Structure 1
Protein backbone atom coordinates (compact mmCIF):
# COMPACT_ATOMS: atom_id res chain seq x y z
CA UNK A 1 0.00 0.00 0.00
CA UNK A 2 1.30 3.48 -0.88
CA UNK A 3 2.12 5.71 2.03
CA UNK A 4 -0.07 8.79 2.38
CA UNK A 5 1.08 12.27 3.43
CA UNK A 6 1.57 12.34 7.19
CA UNK A 7 -1.09 14.49 8.91
CA UNK A 8 1.40 15.66 11.57
CA UNK A 9 3.75 17.31 9.08
CA UNK A 10 3.91 20.85 10.44
CA UNK A 11 4.83 22.76 7.31
CA UNK A 12 1.85 22.84 4.91
CA UNK A 13 4.09 23.68 1.94
CA UNK A 14 6.07 20.46 2.50
CA UNK A 15 2.81 18.56 2.33
CA UNK A 16 1.80 20.42 -0.82
CA UNK A 17 5.19 19.61 -2.37
CA UNK A 18 4.57 15.91 -1.73
CA UNK A 19 1.06 16.07 -3.16
CA UNK A 20 2.23 17.86 -6.31
CA UNK A 21 5.10 15.41 -6.79
CA UNK A 22 2.74 12.48 -6.50
CA UNK A 23 0.36 14.12 -8.97
CA UNK A 24 3.06 14.62 -11.60
CA UNK A 25 4.44 11.12 -11.07
CA UNK A 26 1.08 9.43 -11.42
CA UNK A 27 0.13 11.61 -14.41
CA UNK A 28 3.33 10.37 -16.09
CA UNK A 29 2.41 6.75 -15.32
CA UNK A 30 5.51 6.20 -13.18
CA UNK A 31 5.94 4.12 -10.06
CA UNK A 32 8.16 5.42 -7.29
CA UNK A 33 10.99 3.02 -8.22
CA UNK A 34 10.78 4.12 -11.86
CA UNK A 35 11.01 7.80 -10.96
CA UNK A 36 13.84 7.08 -8.53
CA UNK A 37 15.79 5.29 -11.25
CA UNK A 38 15.27 8.18 -13.67
CA UNK A 39 16.52 10.70 -11.10
CA UNK A 40 19.37 8.58 -9.80
CA UNK A 41 18.07 8.45 -6.22
CA UNK A 42 16.52 5.80 -4.02
CA UNK A 43 12.90 4.68 -3.94
CA UNK A 44 12.84 5.58 -0.26
CA UNK A 45 13.72 9.22 -1.00
CA UNK A 46 10.84 9.58 -3.46
CA UNK A 47 8.52 8.04 -0.87
CA UNK A 48 9.77 10.38 1.84
CA UNK A 49 9.29 13.48 -0.30
CA UNK A 50 5.75 12.39 -1.19
CA UNK A 51 4.80 11.67 2.41
CA UNK A 52 6.04 14.71 4.27
CA UNK A 53 9.85 14.89 4.40
CA UNK A 54 11.48 18.23 3.65
CA UNK A 55 12.76 18.08 0.03
CA UNK A 56 16.20 19.21 -1.00
CA UNK A 57 16.56 22.04 -3.48
CA UNK A 58 18.78 19.81 -5.64
CA UNK A 59 16.02 17.17 -5.84
CA UNK A 60 13.46 19.85 -6.64
CA UNK A 61 15.59 21.12 -9.54
CA UNK A 62 15.95 17.55 -10.80
CA UNK A 63 12.17 17.14 -10.72
CA UNK A 64 11.54 20.35 -12.68
CA UNK A 65 14.12 19.22 -15.24
CA UNK A 66 12.77 15.68 -15.53
CA UNK A 67 9.13 16.75 -15.91
CA UNK A 68 10.17 19.63 -18.21
CA UNK A 69 8.32 22.34 -16.26
CA UNK A 70 9.64 25.76 -17.31
CA UNK A 71 8.02 27.62 -14.39
CA UNK A 72 10.04 25.49 -11.91
CA UNK A 73 7.35 24.96 -9.27
CA UNK A 74 9.34 22.31 -7.38
CA UNK A 75 12.39 24.55 -7.09
CA UNK A 76 10.27 27.51 -5.95
CA UNK A 77 8.51 25.42 -3.33
CA UNK A 78 11.75 23.87 -2.06
CA UNK A 79 13.40 27.29 -1.78
CA UNK A 80 10.36 28.67 0.02
CA UNK A 81 10.38 25.71 2.42
CA UNK A 82 14.02 26.45 3.13
CA UNK A 83 13.21 30.11 3.78
CA UNK A 84 10.08 29.61 5.83
CA UNK A 85 11.12 26.79 8.14
CA UNK A 86 8.06 25.98 10.24
CA UNK A 87 6.09 29.19 9.74
CA UNK A 88 2.55 28.53 8.46
CA UNK A 89 1.83 29.71 4.91
CA UNK A 90 -1.88 28.93 4.72
CA UNK A 91 -5.00 29.41 6.86
CA UNK A 92 -5.78 26.76 9.50
CA UNK A 93 -7.03 23.52 7.98
CA UNK A 94 -5.99 24.40 4.45
CA UNK A 95 -2.98 22.09 4.26
CA UNK A 96 -5.14 19.10 5.18
CA UNK A 97 -7.77 20.28 2.69
CA UNK A 98 -5.16 20.27 -0.11
CA UNK A 99 -4.16 16.70 0.71
CA UNK A 100 -7.80 15.59 0.64
CA UNK A 101 -8.51 17.60 -2.52
CA UNK A 102 -5.84 15.54 -4.31
CA UNK A 103 -7.85 12.39 -3.52
CA UNK A 104 -11.32 13.73 -4.25
CA UNK A 105 -13.62 12.21 -6.85
CA UNK A 106 -16.03 15.18 -6.75
CA UNK A 107 -15.51 18.82 -5.83
CA UNK A 108 -18.24 21.42 -5.27
CA UNK A 109 -17.44 25.03 -4.56
CA UNK A 110 -18.73 28.58 -4.32
CA UNK A 111 -16.37 31.52 -4.86
CA UNK A 112 -17.62 34.85 -3.61
CA UNK A 113 -14.84 37.17 -4.81
CA UNK A 114 -12.33 35.51 -7.15
CA UNK A 115 -11.96 32.62 -9.58
CA UNK A 116 -11.70 29.09 -8.13
CA UNK A 117 -8.11 28.24 -7.25
CA UNK A 118 -8.15 25.13 -9.45
CA UNK A 119 -9.07 27.30 -12.46
CA UNK A 120 -6.68 30.21 -11.89
CA UNK A 121 -3.92 31.16 -14.31
CA UNK A 122 -0.51 31.94 -12.83
CA UNK A 123 -0.47 35.72 -13.39
CA UNK A 124 -3.97 36.05 -11.97
CA UNK A 125 -3.10 33.88 -8.96
CA UNK A 126 0.06 35.87 -8.31
CA UNK A 127 -1.86 39.15 -8.23
CA UNK A 128 -4.52 38.01 -5.76
CA UNK A 129 -1.96 36.32 -3.47
CA UNK A 130 0.42 39.28 -3.40
CA UNK A 131 -0.54 40.69 -0.01
CA UNK A 132 2.77 41.86 1.42
CA UNK A 133 4.76 38.66 0.90
CA UNK A 134 8.38 38.76 -0.14
CA UNK A 135 9.23 37.59 -3.68
CA UNK A 136 10.41 34.15 -2.54
CA UNK A 137 7.37 33.55 -0.35
CA UNK A 138 5.02 34.64 -3.13
CA UNK A 139 6.76 32.34 -5.61
CA UNK A 140 6.23 29.43 -3.24
CA UNK A 141 2.55 30.20 -2.69
CA UNK A 142 1.88 30.55 -6.42
CA UNK A 143 3.80 27.36 -7.21
CA UNK A 144 1.74 25.50 -4.62
CA UNK A 145 -1.51 26.77 -6.14
CA UNK A 146 -0.44 25.82 -9.65
CA UNK A 147 0.69 22.45 -8.36
CA UNK A 148 -2.78 21.69 -7.04
CA UNK A 149 -4.05 21.80 -10.61
CA UNK A 150 -2.26 18.53 -11.44
CA UNK A 151 -5.47 16.75 -10.45
CA UNK A 152 -7.00 18.14 -13.65
CA UNK A 153 -4.46 16.16 -15.67
CA UNK A 154 -4.72 12.78 -14.00
CA UNK A 155 -6.22 9.78 -15.76
CA UNK A 156 -9.56 10.07 -13.98
CA UNK A 157 -9.87 13.71 -12.90
CA UNK A 158 -12.55 14.60 -10.35
CA UNK A 159 -15.90 15.94 -11.38
CA UNK A 160 -16.14 19.61 -10.42
CA UNK A 161 -19.02 22.02 -10.00
CA UNK A 162 -18.26 25.68 -9.29
CA UNK A 163 -20.55 28.63 -8.72
CA UNK A 164 -18.73 31.95 -9.15
CA UNK A 165 -20.16 35.26 -8.03
CA UNK A 166 -20.45 37.75 -10.90
CA UNK A 167 -18.23 40.17 -8.99
CA UNK A 168 -15.24 37.97 -9.90
CA UNK A 169 -15.88 38.85 -13.57
CA UNK A 170 -15.66 42.55 -12.77
CA UNK A 171 -12.45 42.47 -10.70
CA UNK A 172 -9.47 42.64 -13.15
CA UNK A 173 -6.83 41.22 -10.84
CA UNK A 174 -3.36 41.45 -12.34
CA UNK A 175 -4.26 44.05 -14.95
CA UNK A 176 -5.83 43.82 -18.37
CA UNK A 177 -3.55 41.18 -19.90
CA UNK A 178 -3.61 38.85 -16.90
CA UNK A 179 -7.37 39.18 -16.50
CA UNK A 180 -8.00 38.61 -20.19
CA UNK A 181 -5.94 35.43 -19.97
CA UNK A 182 -7.95 34.36 -16.93
CA UNK A 183 -11.34 35.02 -18.53
CA UNK A 184 -10.25 33.30 -21.75
CA UNK A 185 -9.19 30.24 -19.82
CA UNK A 186 -12.41 30.18 -17.81
CA UNK A 187 -14.46 30.37 -21.02
CA UNK A 188 -12.38 27.55 -22.53
CA UNK A 189 -12.93 25.31 -19.51
CA UNK A 190 -16.66 26.02 -19.46
CA UNK A 191 -17.02 25.15 -23.13
CA UNK A 192 -14.55 22.30 -23.54
CA UNK A 193 -13.77 20.45 -20.29
CA UNK A 194 -16.55 17.94 -19.66
CA UNK A 195 -15.69 17.11 -16.05
CA UNK A 196 -15.86 20.78 -14.98
CA UNK A 197 -19.06 22.79 -14.77
CA UNK A 198 -18.88 26.46 -13.83
CA UNK A 199 -21.89 28.74 -13.42
CA UNK A 200 -22.16 32.42 -12.59
CA UNK A 201 -24.26 33.77 -9.73
CA UNK A 202 -25.51 37.09 -11.18
CA UNK A 203 -25.76 40.31 -9.20
CA UNK A 204 -29.56 40.23 -9.26
CA UNK A 205 -29.69 36.79 -7.59
CA UNK A 206 -29.36 37.45 -3.87
CA UNK A 207 -29.36 34.48 -1.51
CA UNK A 208 -28.18 34.22 2.08
CA UNK A 209 -26.22 31.10 1.10
CA UNK A 210 -23.76 33.22 -0.87
CA UNK A 211 -23.28 35.98 1.69
CA UNK A 212 -21.05 34.18 4.20
CA UNK A 213 -17.97 33.70 2.04
CA UNK A 214 -16.50 30.95 -0.12
CA UNK A 215 -16.73 27.25 0.63
CA UNK A 216 -15.87 23.88 -0.87
CA UNK A 217 -17.15 20.33 -0.46
CA UNK A 218 -15.10 17.24 -1.28
CA UNK A 219 -16.35 13.71 -1.93
CA UNK A 220 -13.47 11.32 -1.32
CA UNK A 221 -12.69 7.96 -2.86
CA UNK A 222 -13.79 6.09 0.26
CA UNK A 223 -17.22 7.75 0.24
CA UNK A 224 -16.51 10.27 2.99
CA UNK A 225 -17.20 13.99 2.60
CA UNK A 226 -15.38 17.01 3.99
CA UNK A 227 -16.13 20.70 3.70
CA UNK A 228 -13.91 23.75 3.91
CA UNK A 229 -15.10 27.24 4.80
CA UNK A 230 -12.83 30.18 4.16
CA UNK A 231 -12.53 33.92 4.47
CA UNK A 232 -9.67 36.30 3.74
CA UNK A 233 -8.05 35.60 7.11
CA UNK A 234 -9.19 32.17 8.27
CA UNK A 235 -10.20 28.71 7.20
CA UNK A 236 -12.08 25.81 8.75
CA UNK A 237 -12.06 22.15 7.71
CA UNK A 238 -15.29 20.35 8.65
CA UNK A 239 -15.76 16.61 9.19
CA UNK A 240 -19.08 16.45 11.08
CA UNK A 241 -21.79 14.96 8.79
CA UNK A 242 -24.55 17.33 9.94
CA UNK A 243 -22.39 20.40 9.34
CA UNK A 244 -21.29 19.08 5.95
CA UNK A 245 -24.93 18.61 4.99
CA UNK A 246 -25.60 22.23 5.98
CA UNK A 247 -22.79 23.39 3.70
CA UNK A 248 -24.12 21.12 0.93
CA UNK A 249 -27.52 22.77 1.30
CA UNK A 250 -25.83 26.16 0.87
CA UNK A 251 -24.25 24.92 -2.36
CA UNK A 252 -27.58 23.72 -3.75
CA UNK A 253 -29.10 27.11 -2.97
CA UNK A 254 -26.41 29.08 -4.82
CA UNK A 255 -26.49 26.57 -7.68
CA UNK A 256 -30.24 27.04 -7.92
CA UNK A 257 -29.83 30.82 -8.15
CA UNK A 258 -26.94 30.63 -10.66
CA UNK A 259 -27.40 31.08 -14.39
CA UNK A 260 -27.57 27.97 -16.59
CA UNK A 261 -24.31 26.85 -18.20
CA UNK A 262 -24.99 28.50 -21.56
CA UNK A 263 -26.05 31.81 -20.05
CA UNK A 264 -23.06 31.71 -17.70
CA UNK A 265 -20.65 31.22 -20.59
CA UNK A 266 -22.33 34.07 -22.45
CA UNK A 267 -21.80 36.36 -19.45
CA UNK A 268 -18.11 35.39 -19.22
CA UNK A 269 -17.63 36.13 -22.92
CA UNK A 270 -19.40 39.46 -22.50
CA UNK A 271 -17.00 40.37 -19.68
CA UNK A 272 -14.09 39.28 -21.88
CA UNK A 273 -15.12 41.75 -24.59
CA UNK A 274 -14.07 44.61 -22.31
CA UNK A 275 -10.49 43.28 -22.33
CA UNK A 276 -10.03 42.46 -26.00
Structure 2
Protein backbone atom coordinates (compact mmCIF):
# COMPACT_ATOMS: atom_id res chain seq x y z
CA UNK A 1 0.00 0.00 0.00
CA UNK A 2 1.38 3.38 -0.96
CA UNK A 3 1.53 5.76 2.01
CA UNK A 4 -0.22 8.37 -0.14
CA UNK A 5 -3.43 6.33 0.26
CA UNK A 6 -3.16 6.86 4.02
CA UNK A 7 -2.28 10.53 3.88
CA UNK A 8 -4.85 11.82 1.38
CA UNK A 9 -7.99 12.39 3.51
CA UNK A 10 -10.65 11.21 1.07
CA UNK A 11 -14.02 11.67 2.77
CA UNK A 12 -12.53 13.45 5.78
CA UNK A 13 -10.88 12.38 9.01
CA UNK A 14 -13.77 10.22 10.27
CA UNK A 15 -13.94 8.20 7.05
CA UNK A 16 -10.18 7.73 6.94
CA UNK A 17 -10.11 6.65 10.59
CA UNK A 18 -12.84 4.08 9.94
CA UNK A 19 -11.04 2.73 6.87
CA UNK A 20 -7.75 2.37 8.76
CA UNK A 21 -9.57 0.69 11.67
CA UNK A 22 -11.05 -1.77 9.18
CA UNK A 23 -7.64 -2.54 7.64
CA UNK A 24 -6.14 -3.06 11.09
CA UNK A 25 -9.05 -5.31 12.05
CA UNK A 26 -8.50 -7.49 8.99
CA UNK A 27 -4.76 -7.72 9.65
CA UNK A 28 -5.16 -8.45 13.35
CA UNK A 29 -8.02 -10.91 12.77
CA UNK A 30 -6.29 -13.05 10.17
CA UNK A 31 -2.66 -14.13 10.45
CA UNK A 32 -2.61 -14.86 6.70
CA UNK A 33 -3.11 -11.17 5.86
CA UNK A 34 -0.06 -8.95 5.69
CA UNK A 35 0.11 -5.32 4.68
CA UNK A 36 3.27 -3.52 3.71
CA UNK A 37 3.22 0.26 3.41
CA UNK A 38 5.57 1.87 0.93
CA UNK A 39 6.53 5.19 2.59
CA UNK A 40 6.65 8.38 0.59
CA UNK A 41 10.21 8.87 1.86
CA UNK A 42 11.37 5.90 -0.26
CA UNK A 43 10.76 7.91 -3.44
CA UNK A 44 9.61 6.54 -6.76
CA UNK A 45 8.71 2.91 -7.25
CA UNK A 46 7.76 0.81 -10.27
CA UNK A 47 4.05 0.57 -9.40
CA UNK A 48 3.26 4.28 -9.38
CA UNK A 49 0.21 5.21 -11.39
CA UNK A 50 -1.90 2.14 -10.77
CA UNK A 51 -2.41 -0.99 -8.77
CA UNK A 52 -1.29 -4.54 -9.35
CA UNK A 53 -2.80 -7.78 -8.09
CA UNK A 54 -0.93 -11.05 -8.60
CA UNK A 55 -3.05 -14.17 -8.26
CA UNK A 56 -1.80 -17.74 -8.22
CA UNK A 57 -4.38 -20.42 -8.87
CA UNK A 58 -4.42 -23.86 -7.28
CA UNK A 59 -2.84 -25.33 -10.40
CA UNK A 60 0.13 -22.97 -9.96
CA UNK A 61 -0.70 -20.65 -12.85
CA UNK A 62 -0.15 -16.99 -11.96
CA UNK A 63 -1.88 -14.11 -13.61
CA UNK A 64 -1.97 -10.40 -12.95
CA UNK A 65 -4.58 -7.70 -12.87
CA UNK A 66 -3.34 -4.18 -13.59
CA UNK A 67 -5.62 -1.29 -12.82
CA UNK A 68 -5.31 2.43 -13.44
CA UNK A 69 -7.74 5.27 -12.93
CA UNK A 70 -9.59 4.55 -16.18
CA UNK A 71 -9.16 0.86 -16.92
CA UNK A 72 -8.23 -2.60 -15.74
CA UNK A 73 -6.50 -5.38 -17.63
CA UNK A 74 -5.91 -9.06 -16.93
CA UNK A 75 -2.46 -10.31 -17.88
CA UNK A 76 -1.65 -13.98 -18.34
CA UNK A 77 1.28 -14.16 -20.73
CA UNK A 78 4.26 -15.61 -18.83
CA UNK A 79 6.74 -12.93 -19.91
CA UNK A 80 4.44 -10.07 -18.90
CA UNK A 81 3.50 -11.75 -15.61
CA UNK A 82 7.22 -12.16 -14.83
CA UNK A 83 7.81 -8.47 -15.57
CA UNK A 84 4.95 -7.44 -13.29
CA UNK A 85 6.09 -9.83 -10.56
CA UNK A 86 9.53 -8.22 -10.70
CA UNK A 87 7.94 -4.77 -10.35
CA UNK A 88 6.00 -5.99 -7.32
CA UNK A 89 9.15 -7.46 -5.79
CA UNK A 90 11.02 -4.17 -6.21
CA UNK A 91 8.18 -2.19 -4.65
CA UNK A 92 7.90 -4.68 -1.79
CA UNK A 93 11.65 -4.40 -1.16
CA UNK A 94 11.22 -0.65 -0.69
CA UNK A 95 8.23 -1.05 1.63
CA UNK A 96 8.22 -1.28 5.41
CA UNK A 97 8.00 -4.76 6.88
CA UNK A 98 4.62 -5.89 8.23
CA UNK A 99 5.30 -4.84 11.83
CA UNK A 100 6.49 -1.36 10.91
CA UNK A 101 3.57 -1.04 8.49
CA UNK A 102 1.07 -1.83 11.26
CA UNK A 103 2.80 0.74 13.47
CA UNK A 104 2.46 3.34 10.72
CA UNK A 105 -1.23 2.47 10.30
CA UNK A 106 -1.76 3.02 14.05
CA UNK A 107 0.09 6.35 13.84
CA UNK A 108 -2.06 7.57 10.93
CA UNK A 109 -5.20 6.37 12.74
CA UNK A 110 -4.28 8.41 15.82
CA UNK A 111 -3.67 11.49 13.66
CA UNK A 112 -7.13 11.16 12.06
CA UNK A 113 -8.75 10.52 15.44
CA UNK A 114 -7.05 13.65 16.81
CA UNK A 115 -8.41 15.62 13.84
CA UNK A 116 -11.93 14.38 14.63
CA UNK A 117 -11.60 15.40 18.30
CA UNK A 118 -10.33 18.92 17.52
TM-score higher than 0.5 here?
yes
**Counterparts in 2 of 1:207 and 1:176: CA distance versus 1, 3 Å:** closer
Output the CA distance in 2 between the equivalents of 1:181 and 1:211.
Answer: 25
Deviation at 1:271, TM superposition (A): 0.6
Deviation at 1:213, TM superposition (A): 1.9
Unmatched tracts of structure 1, length 5 or more: 1-163
Q: What do residues 200-246 of structure 1 show as CA deviations (whole Å, max 9, x unaligned)?
A: 00011124412242111110122211111111111111110010011
Report how many residues are paired. 113
Which of structures 1 and 2 has the larger relative contact order (alpha carbons within 8 angstroms, sep 6+)?
Answer: 2
Deviation at 1:174, TM superposition (A): 2.3
Output the CA distance in 1 between the equivalents of 2:10 and 2:31.
Answer: 27
Larger CA Rg, structure 1 vs 2: 1
Q: TM-score, normalised by structure 1?
A: 0.39
2:32 equivalent among 195, 207, 213: 195
Deviation at 1:188, TM superposition (A): 2.1
Output the CA distance in 2 between the equivalents of 1:236 and 1:211.
Answer: 16
Unmatched tracts of structure 2, length 5 or more: 114-118
What RMSD, in angstroms, separates the aligned Cα atoms of the two structures?
1.4
Structure 1 moving runs of 4+ over 4 Å: none
1:171 equivalent among 1, 4, 8: 8
**Counterparts in 2 of 1:212 and 1:232: CA distance versus 1, 3 Å:** closer
